[in-house]
């Protein structure tokens, strides 16, 4: 099984390293040919507007929407990736690019600027003990539709959720040594192969 990391901008190498540590074939996705070969795709943190524009320029956005919509591609968006996956970006700029995959409404940079980044121990619905979550200019899920499973919350709001073959987190699991969230996503990829 191949799991890809969108490699147009953002924290690509860290996700690839985590996937390799989970014993799956990890590939950088830069074109439609590679995108067609993967069972799962991680959309990393970075700058959501830039990533969204590059998805359109490289002709990847429509293929991600189609494959995810058909249920034969699992997608995991972290931080900026979560923003791109949202059906609604509450504070987006005019013409804000998005994939619109999940029935969630997000607020970009909900936790403030870069200097307000933080780590916290986070209770996660499917894990028996907390994970360390790193938040960097992180978004938050303000609203989630009825088909969305809430996996983790902070007092400010929802920070991780799943909707079928779609997974989103406000934080950066690739910046810790904990592989559980990547392993969870790999299990999702196998479910939807």
Based on the residue annotation, tell me whether 22 is a catalytic residue of this protein.
Answer: no
User: What is the rounded distance in angstroms from the CA atom of residue 66 to the CA atom of residue 184?
Assistant: 23
**DSSP bridge pairs for 154:** 157
Q: Could you tell me which residues come within 8 angstroms of residue 129 by beta carbon, excluding any fewer than 6 positions away?
A: none
Give the active site residue among 15, 18, 79, 189: 79
Q: What is the pLDDT along the chain (193 residues), one digit of tens a residue?
A: 999 999 998 889 999 999 999 999 999 999 999 999 999 999 999 889 999 999 999 999 999 999 999 999 999 999 999 999 999 999 878 888 999 999 999 998 887 777 778 999 999 999 999 999 999 989 999 999 999 999 999 999 999 999 999 999 999 999 999 999 999 999 999 998 8
Output phi, psi for 177, to 5 deg. Answer: -85, -5
Distance CA(3)–CA(5), nearest Å, equals: 7
pLDDT value of position 111: 77
Quote the strand ranges of the chain, DSSP E. Answer: 2-6, 25-29, 40-43, 74-78, 86-89, 102-107, 118-122, 131-135, 140-144, 149-154, 157-163, 166-169
With contact defined as beta carbons under 8 Å apart, do 40 and 4 qualify?
Answer: yes
Which among 14, 15, 18, 174 is annotated as catalytic?
174
Per-residue pLDDT, 95: 83
Q: What is the pLDDT of residue 178?
A: 97
What is the DSSP track for 5-57? EE-SSSSHHHHHHHHHHTTSEEEEE-SHHHHHH-SEEEE-SS-HHHHHHHHHH
Q: What does the pLDDT read at residue 99?
A: 97
Q: Report the pLDDT value the prediction gives residue 70, as an integer from 0 to 100.
A: 95
Helix (H/G/I), strand (E/B), else coil: 180: helix
pLDDT of residue 91: 85
pLDDT score recorded for residue 94? 82
Which residue has tokens 């591609």? Answer: 73
Which pLDDT value is given to residue 109?
Answer: 81
Task: For each of the domains in the chain, give its residue range(s) and CATH number, in order of start.
Answer: 2-191 (3.40.50.880)
Which one of the listed residues 18, 172, 182, 189 is annotated catalytic? 172
């Amino acid at each position: 099984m191949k799991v890809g990391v969108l490699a147009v901008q953002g924290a690509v190498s860290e996700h690839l390293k985590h996937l390799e540590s989970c014993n799956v074939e990890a590939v950088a996705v830069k074109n439609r040919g590679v995108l067609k070969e993967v069972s799962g795709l991680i959309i990393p943190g970075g700058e959501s507007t830039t990533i969204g524009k590059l998805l359109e320029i490289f002709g990847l956005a429509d293929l991600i929407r189609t494959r995810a919509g058909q249920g034969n591609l699992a997608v995991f968006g972290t931080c900026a990736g979560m923003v791109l996956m949202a059906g609604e970006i509450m504070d987006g700029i005019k013409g804000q690019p998005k994939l619109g995959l999940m029935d969630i409404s997000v607020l970009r940079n909900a936790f403030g600027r870069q200097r307000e980044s933080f780590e916290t121990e986070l209770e996660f619905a499917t894990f028996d003990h907390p994970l360390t979550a790193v938040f960097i200019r992180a978004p938050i899920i303000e609203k989630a539709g009825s088909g969305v499973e809430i996996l983790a919350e902070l007092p400010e709001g929802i920070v991780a959720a799943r909707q079928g073959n779609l997974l989103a987190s406000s934080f950066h699991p690739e910046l810790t040594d904990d592989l559980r969230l990547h392993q969870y996503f790999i299990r999702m990829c196998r479910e939807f192969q």
